[in-house]
Amino acid sequence: MIIFIENRQLVVEGYKNRFEKAGETLIRLTANDLIDWINTSNASELASVEAFLIGETEAPSETIDAIRRKLNVPIVALLDNRSLEQLINFYLKGVDDVVVKPVHFQELLIRIAAIKKRIVQPAKQKTAEPIVVYFDGRDPEIHGDQLLLPRRERRILEYLASINGRRATKAQIFGAIYGVFDEKIEENVVESHISKLRKKLRQYLGYDPIDSKRYLGYQLDPKSVATEKMVPHALVA
């Protein structure tokens, strides 16, 4: 099943019969319907989704985030007109590919197949630690499943993992993540990033692996994390 997130019924109908003749079911949902469906569906229902197409819709960022939290499947955005700004925005929001209409349905199927080939990887050996942190731009994994994080949150997790259970103050984390001091960015932004990161880790682990103590800073439980491809911890934004 391919889900097309598009406000205009006629646009979807233009592709529906062609997809179905090729053996693919095409379903139209609005953004609100999609988010409700994702949040209420069970694992088997979610597993039936092959890919998402995103056309004209409200709140594309929230829609893409909702998909990424639950599914690791291709997301292709369709633009009505060629626009560099829209293309860049969609890639920054996390889609896998952007195409400009008119586009043949077979091209969409080929693009979806190519994306699947990239994202489907062989099963990895489980580690004793629930969190695996990489230092090559990949998102961390929890119990073998990828945890998609915004760049700042990922960098904070990488930094805390790289110092091997030692504590880091807010100032140290700020310096490691943002590099050279920028007067436009307040140091307190670190607290917001860490709060969001801890909430996500708690949601997936059932406990909070980051301990915080006033004046002493933050510490990532070394028993909860394994690292691969270690790099020096002087990370820059």
pLDDT of residue 134: 83
185 or 65, greater pLDDT: 65
pLDDT for the residue 237:
31
Mean pLDDT, residues 54-62 taken together: 87
Give the Å distances, CA to CA, from 144 to 49, 124, 147, 207. Answer: 21, 7, 9, 17
CA distance 120 to 117: 6
Lowest mean pLDDT among 73-82, 117-126, 128-137: 117-126
pLDDT of 141: 92
Measure the CA–CA gap between 128 and 144, rounded to whole angstroms: 11
pLDDT at 54: 93
Q: Quick one: CA dihedral 10, 15, 21, 27, positive or negative? A: negative
Is 222 exposed, middle or buried, given 0-12, 13-18 or 19+ CB atoms closer than 10 A?
Answer: middle
Beta strands 97-100 and 217-220, pairing class: unpaired
Structure tokens at 44: 């088997």
Which residues are paired to 5 by β-bridges? 29, 54
Give residue 4's pLDDT band: very low, low, confident or very high (50, 70, 90): very high
Lookup: tokens for 145: 């499943």
CATH code at 131-227: 1.10.10.10
Distances (CA, A) of 179 to 33, 182, 190, 231: 42, 8, 13, 16
Which string of DSSP letters, residue by residue, matches 7-66? S-HHHHHHHHHHHHHTT--EEEE-HHHHHHHHHH--HHHHHT--EEEE-S-S-HHHHHHH
Least confident piece of the model among 34-38, 99-103, 172-176: 172-176
Cα–Cα–Cα angle for 81, 22, 104, nearest 5°?
A: 20
Rounded to two decimals, the pTM is: 0.50
Are 90 and 77 contacting, i.e. CB atoms less than 8 angstroms apart? yes
Digit-coded pLDDT (tens) for 77-118: 999 888 888 888 888 888 999 999 888 988 998 898 888 777
Q: Which of 92-106, 166-180, 185-199 is predicted least confidently? A: 166-180
Convert the pLDDT of each residue in 212-229 to its tens digit. 998 889 999 989 998 764
* CA neighbor of 49 nearest in space, from 89, 114, 5, 105: 5
**pLDDT above 90: residue 195:** yes
Q: Is the dihedral of CA 129, 132, 135, 140 positive or negative?
A: negative
- The proportion of the chain whose per-residue pLDDT surpasses 70, expressed as a percent, equals 86
CATH entry, 2-119, from 3.40.50.2300, 3.40.50.12160, 2.150.10.10, 3.30.420.40? 3.40.50.2300
Q: Where are the domains of the chain?
A: 2-119, 131-227
Average pLDDT over residues 6-19: 87
pLDDT at 38: 86
